[in-house]
Amino acid sequence: MSDRPYLLPFEKPIHELELRLEEVQKSAVGRLGTSDEIRRMRREIEELRRNVFANLTAWETVQVARHKDRPQTKDYLELAFDEFIELHGDRAFGDDRALLCGFAKLGDFKVVVIGHAKGKNLKERSECFYGCAHPEGYRKALVKMKLAEKYRLPVLCLIDTPGAYPGIAAEERGQSLAIAVNLLEMSRLRTPIICTVIGEGGSGGALGVGVGDRVCMMEHAYYSVISPEGCSGILWKNADQNKARAAEALRLTSKDLKRLGVVDDVVPEPPGAAHRDHRQAALALKMQWTKYLRELTATPIDRLVASRHEKFRRMGVFDVSSTNGS
């Protein structure tokens, strides 16, 4: 993270107060009465930060989820896990860098981790297509899930993608089929699966590694069938003009999805969101994952698979109407 933080519009008042606090602290040496002023300013900053992030609009939540300093899969691998050994390739075409896969150790648990990689600089982002996986990425993920099933290791999926790669080459290599196969196989994989949306959860690109016994998301992440810009472009023929309106309509925030039963739990983020404190965000996730692993590894596998299938069958509401002559 750079010395000059990237600020979202609604973060600027908080940053201005923080700069004022720094100035007061620097000038406080040898002055009487400044300790009370410093404590007052710290309380003011904490209250402002809490109020701002507790009342984000849906579009502001999307902006936080896309923040360039937000921790990614690699960050959590370093901060939350004790070991990680990366596995490569889909045994058919190549090694998609948009999805990281490998063996890892989380406390006392040995697991297989599968997570989207967006990259931190232009070179990395170009190599992993900004976290947009190709078919070989989803096939690679499934091969590693099958390996986890063979060795009875739980699977942890970290979701952070705008969506699957939309190019012609991906379609030619069977993008939709690769995602569909993953949905089918994950629904009946005979090992515990935990899915976590850590940033962006976009469309089938997210769902391709999103079927699990427990699905949770970070407090300021989003999970949606389409991006706000994509929705705005389809409905109003302008990707930018109505993106905030589209974000509200999509019900993509953690509060909405918990209420609708799409996710099981919301993992709280540090004050000011995960990009302000990577280590605290990783600790919160580690605690949630450890709790899930204790529950799921103690559950008989037949009951686990049946519950997973029923969990996703219950999602959504639809009406079946009969018509004359049908």
Segment 251-299, tens digit of pLDDT: 999 999 999 999 999 999 998 999 999 999 999 999 999 999 999 999 9
The predicted-structure confidence for 165-197, as pLDDT tens digits, reads as follows 999 999 999 999 999 999 999 999 999 999 999
The predicted-structure confidence for 201-228, as pLDDT tens digits, reads as follows 998 999 999 999 999 999 999 999 999 9
Instruction: Supply the CATH number for residue 210's domain.
Output: 3.90.226.10
- Global model pTM greater than 0.85: yes
| CA 14 to chain CA centroid, nearest Å | 25
Is 15 in the same domain as 123? Answer: no
In a domain, 255, yes or no: yes
What tokens does 266 get?
A: 């919301």
Decide: residue 22, CB within 10 A, 0-12 exposed, 13-18 middle, 19+ buried. Answer: exposed
What pLDDT, on a 0 to 100 scale, did the predictor assign at position 1? Answer: 43
Q: Give the C-alpha separation, 10 to 1, whole Å.
A: 19
Neighbours of 310 (CB within 10 A): 9
Q: Which domain holds residue 276?
A: 62-313
What pLDDT, on a 0 to 100 scale, did the predictor assign at position 94? Answer: 87
What pLDDT, on a 0 to 100 scale, did the predictor assign at position 326? Answer: 47
Is 209 in the same domain as 162? Answer: yes
E strand residue ranges, the chain: 83-87, 99-106, 109-116, 155-161, 193-202, 214-218, 222-224, 265-267
Dihedral over Cα of 12, 16, 17, 19: its sign: positive
Separation in Å, CA 166 to CA 32, 203, 316: 62, 11, 26
Is 32 in the same domain as 131? Answer: no
Is 102 in the same domain as 178? Answer: yes
Is 21 in the same domain as 105? Answer: no
